[in-house]
Structure 1
Amino acid sequence: MIGIEKEKLLDLFLGYQIPWHTSSVVWKKSFFNRIGGFDEGLLRFQDVEIHIRALAEKDSTIFIDDHSLPTSFYRKSAFHTKIDLDKRVFILNQGIIFLEKIKVILGCDGLSKTYSLFLYLMFRFEEVIDRRQLKLIKGIYFSDCKNLQLPFSVSLMIFLHEKVLKRPRRSRKLLAFGIYKFHLAINKQ
């Protein structure tokens, strides 16, 4: 086993660059109980949220098995990738709840590391984002976190949705995707 820097792993989860999935982790029952187990109120993002809480624990230690072969495979079929508009709204709303939880768990400092997730939500669910949801998302970042320095990509995404292309359209989706990819490229983990 090799030791790994917890802060780096926490940053990956906060940036929605998920380094492992839920069944890849072995936890002591006492630790799992101490951090409160899964948040049953979250219907999406609960796997990412529990890893964030676990990695945020001061006295936890992380070890990663050093295997060069894959330990699991992810099924990606048309059934699993096809999402109707109602499900898109549901996932977006769960993402907003998830961001609120991160703010509670880690405060503004932790929230400042979620910009990749913010941008992902803005481009991935672009066709269902309305003014109310955009206002909620902005409120999470701006209400108590006055000193947050938004990266250019986040400011540009907000400008795109509020001033340039206020309604969903193909061009906004493409621009939002470009902003997201630009952000990932200049903020490589």
Structure 2
Amino acid sequence: MKIERIEEYDERFEKDIIDQHGAYVINDETYAFQVLDRDTCRVTFSNRNDLNEAIEEYRFFGGHISCFVDQNGKILKEYDKVSFFDMKLEDIYVSQFYVSEEKIKRLLPYVKEFLIPVAKIDGKMVSLDGHTRMKIAQLKGISHVNCYYEEAGDYAKDFMEEAQQRGIFHVYDMPLLSKEEYEEKWHRFCDDFFEQRKAL
């Protein structure tokens, strides 16, 4: 089964759905996720067959969403709600090296809350995702964000350690890159990293 998250503009989805990383295609069927609040997401889909797989894929990036509803508000799937806690940006270590200027521009109009998944690794609180949102918070002069715990993938420690070897500890250290630079540097690093792991 091939699951694709649509990042570029596609006539099958509304622009705001793509900008908020809510557009997915599975076996040529579309699944559009629209966040309603910190717990709830509306799902519009062309075929229900792979709905569970689409929701699971979406939750990989949006683990704080615990309730998925259809266009009529009927519950499609529910999970246990996550607990949020406040953290200073300066106390969160990062597992990414760069932030895309283009992603910031696309996400900026939609960010109402700064919800960041974190895990404790080697005694440090490390962000597993949400680096663009943290950068937006920093640029807006916001010093605290809402965090929730998630289980770290086995690569998260490697990414954090690599970031620190590059002198990148917190979001304040993360440089902004153009779309082209971001794709060249960050995507290439990720592709090379996981290719090397496959070879082991």
- The two structures share one fold, judged by TM-score above 0.5: no
Structure with more helix by fraction:
1
Higher relative contact order (CA 8 A, sep 6+): 1
Higher strand share: 2
Query: TM-score, normalized by length of structure 1?
Result: 0.31
